[in-house]
């Protein structure tokens, strides 16, 4: 089941993101993500979850048919983390997150690192100009030749990396956390593949403008 979560980050009207949201089997809004859904995605969520401190009355009325799951404002998890936990509990086999970037810098970084937590269910961030996901031993990137691909370690070491169809190849090599060697590679074919034997990678694919 493909579950799409809309967060409270920066978003604009975009046909690609609207299609992702429209075609989801389950649509979850993380608190103020419901406002983003109303303004930019045109379809209401099935579920709204969080402390609901970012929702206005117009959005509440627009989401009248949704299931509301309310948490106190003071809690140990962010609204997006609660939404991810719920998606897993409801049987998601694939998760896409929209609107996770922009806004507060600390929340943006935390949202990226949530990808490392949810490795058991394939989870990706999707934006108008990029997609990003965590991989535990294998990743496939499809896109246009010349588009940028960055490989960023989420663990201390990512070992045994082998890349295919990237401009700067890696052959049984290691990337270490805190170093930028894996940034700004390029697709040399419409399909690239990455395998590795140990660690966790953040894969970032920037679309051609």
Residue 87 clears pLDDT 80, i.e. is over it: yes
Report CA 168 to chain centroid distance, whole Å: 25
97 closest CA partner among 164, 36, 181: 36
Start-to-end C-alpha separation, the chain:
31
Could you tell me how many helices (H) and strands (E) the chain has, helices first? 5, 14
Per-residue pLDDT tens digits for 151-191: 999 999 999 999 999 999 999 999 999 899 999 999 999 99
Length of the chain (residues): 209
- Topology adopted by domain 135-206: Jelly Rolls (2.60.120)
DSSP for residue 177 = T
Task: Please give the Cα distance from 5 to 12 (Å, whole number).
Answer: 16
The β-bridge relationship of strands 201-206 and 130-135 is: antiparallel
Task: Give the Cβ contact number of residue 208 at 10 Å.
Answer: 11
Lookup result for tokens 């009325």: 61
Per-residue pLDDT tens digits for 33-76: 999 999 999 899 999 999 888 889 999 999 999 999 999 888 88
* pLDDT the model gives residue 141: 97
DSSP character string of 140-188:
EEE--TT-EEEEEESSSEEEEEEEESBSS--EEEEEETT--TTSSEEBS
Task: Please give the Cα distance from 138 to 143 (Å, whole number).
Answer: 17
Domain at 2-128, CATH class: alpha beta
The β-bridge relationship of strands 157-164 and 148-153 is: unpaired
Domain spans, the chain: 2-128, 135-206
* pLDDT the model gives residue 135: 92
Q: Is 116 exposed, middle or buried (0-12, 13-18, 19+ CB in 10 A)?
A: middle
* pLDDT the model gives residue 55: 86
């Amino acid at each position: 089941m493909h579950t799409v979560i809309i967060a409270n980050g920066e978003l604009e009207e975009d046909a690609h993101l609207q299609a992702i949201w429209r075609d989801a089997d389950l649509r979850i809004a993380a608190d103020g993500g419901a406002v983003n859904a109303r303004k930019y995605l045109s379809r209401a969520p099935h579920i709204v979850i969080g402390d609901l401190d970012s929702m206005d009355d117009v959005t509440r009325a627009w989401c009248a048919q949704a299931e509301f799951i309310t948490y106190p404002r003071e809690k140990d998890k962010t609204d997006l983390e609660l939404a991810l936990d719920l998606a897993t509990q409801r049987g998601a086999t694939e998760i896409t997150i929209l609107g996770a970037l922009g806004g507060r810098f600390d929340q943006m970084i935390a949202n990226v690192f949530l990808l490392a937590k949810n490795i058991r269910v394939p989870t990706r961030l999707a934006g108008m100009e990029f997609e990003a996901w965590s991989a535990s031993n294998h990743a496939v990137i499809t896109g246009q030749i010349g588009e940028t691909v960055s490989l960023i370690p989420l663990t201390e070491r990512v070992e045994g990396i082998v890349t295919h169809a990237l401009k700067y190849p890696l052959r049984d090599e290691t990337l270490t956390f805190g170093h930028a060697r894996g940034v700004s590679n390029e697709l040399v074919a419409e399909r690239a593949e990455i395998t590795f034997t140990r660690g966790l990678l953040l894969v970032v694919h920037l679309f051609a403008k």
